[in-house]
Amino acid sequence: MEKNQQKFYNGFWLGEDCTFRVVMAKVRDTPQRIQDTWDKKHPGKLKFVWYKPFVGKILQVVEIHHNEIIWYINNSDGKGTKKLMDKNGGSLGHKGIYVSEITEEVKHKDWNNHVNNRENELNIEIDEWWMKNEPFLYAKHKTEVEELMKIVNGGNAGEYIQKRDKKVKELTDDEKLKSILN
């Protein structure tokens, strides 16, 4: 797709002007140079990236152009466009992502809208993938993250955590794994 055929929208990144477009893109794994930096700074520690379950799959993402830099954030839950369209959207979180290929541009009418239920579903899908592939390490990681969330959020670790724990307990009979989650 030629640049002049692409539809860009005006938005905000950290309160500053930017342009963006919404696209369908194939997710790629962490670039090797970034993985090498992680491994050097955190030897032996697995990097639990949220997008790992989606590597090779097509997701709706936002391509952001800001200060002559281009990068991508997830929009499968609609949070990406919501963040960019609100001048104060800097307080809304986002999920950075690496893409290997843009398959198509998404028309405005087809953008995903921010829906908390979809965000919870996405988080559960991510957790289930990691629990299937690295159950003990990921359970320990999630426990540490939840302790931090409780401190930051005054004790509320989020609705999706309870849903995830219920689902994980349904998927496993492993008592050791269950004890890590409790």
Count the residues in the chain: 182
Residue 176's pLDDT is 56
- 34-67 tens-digit pLDDT: 889 988 988 877 778 889 999 999 999 999 999 9
Residue 123's pLDDT is what? 83
Structural domain boundaries of the chain?
3-110, 116-181
- For the full predicted model, state whether its pTM sits above 0.85: no
- Helices assigned H by DSSP within the chain: 32-41, 79-85, 116-133, 135-152, 159-171, 175-181
Average pLDDT in the 157-171 region?
61
List pLDDT tens digits, range 116-147.
667 778 888 888 898 899 888 888 888 887 77
Alpha helix stretches (DSSP H) within 51-134: 79-85, 116-133
Does residue 157 have a pLDDT over 60?
no
**What is the distance between the alpha carbons of residues 181 and 99, in angstroms, rounded to a whole number?**
32
What is the chain's percent helix, strand, coil content, to nearest 5? Answer: 45, 25, 30
